[in-house]
Amino acid sequence: MKTQKRRRKEFKTDYSKRLNLLKGERPRIVLRKTNRYVIGQYVTSKETQDKVEIGLTSKDLLKYGWPKEFSGSLKSNPASYLTGFLMGKKISKTKKEVPIFDIGMTMAIKKSKIYSFLKGVVDAGVKIPHDKSIFPEESRISGKNLKKDFSADFDKIKLNIEKNE
């Protein structure tokens, strides 16, 4: 019987998926979710050595006007979208190569935070191939479904990101 590698046992790395992504020889946008934040990275690989060119977390949204009373929701759909939007703006600004979207071991569920992040990247002008049916509804992305309507704050933050990036 073959023994699994440590990172596979810990549900951190799917080696067959990683090998296929590396064979594409294109940079990747890596998305990871924690219990509190959404983390996005633009990663290039050379001889299986990964180099993070751009790294962001949803905590960076505080600089763009994310309200303090919503600081506990930095992993929500609006936070995921805005983090992706910020990532997309930084990629467009530096004229980086079009990446592949890498979600790692995260389950790919339609209309989830993962695809809110991807929609943010695409809306910022990065041409990643996708299917529009996987994106959440606009009301969920802008935060109209939250306990307190977040859509006005959402629009302000999006404008701040467009101005500053």
What would the pLDDT profile of 52-109 be if each residue is shown by its tens digit? 999 999 999 999 999 888 888 899 999 999 999 999 999 999 999 999 999 988 888 9
Give the pLDDT score at 79: 94
Q: How far apart are the first and last CA of the chain?
A: 53
DSSP 5: P
Is the Cβ–Cβ distance between 133 and 98 less than 8 Å? no
Q: Given this model, what pLDDT does residue 1 score?
A: 66
Are the C-beta atoms of 104 and 14 separated by less than 8 Å? Answer: yes
Least Cα distance to 118 among 52, 145, 131 occurs for 131
Fold of 10-164: Nucleotidyltransferase; domain 5 (3.30.420)
Q: pTM (2 decimals)?
A: 0.89
**Alpha-carbon distance values, 90 to 5, 39, 123, 151, 165 (Å):** 35, 14, 13, 23, 7
CB of 100 within 8 A of CB of 30? no
**Three-class DSSP labels, 45-110:** EECCEEEEEEEEEHHHHHHHCCCHHHHHHCCCHHHHHHHHHHHHHHHHHCCCCCCEEECCCCCCCC
Q: Which of 141, 119, 143 is nearest to 131 (CA)?
A: 119
User: Domain boundaries in the chain?
Assistant: 10-164
Percentage of residues in the chain having pLDDT higher than 90 = 64
Distances (CA, A) of 71 to 37, 67, 115, 131, 141: 10, 7, 21, 31, 17
Contact 81, 122 (CB under 8 A): no
CB 126 within 8 A of CB 92: yes
**Whether residue 11 has pLDDT greater than 70:** yes
CB 26 within 8 A of CB 97: yes
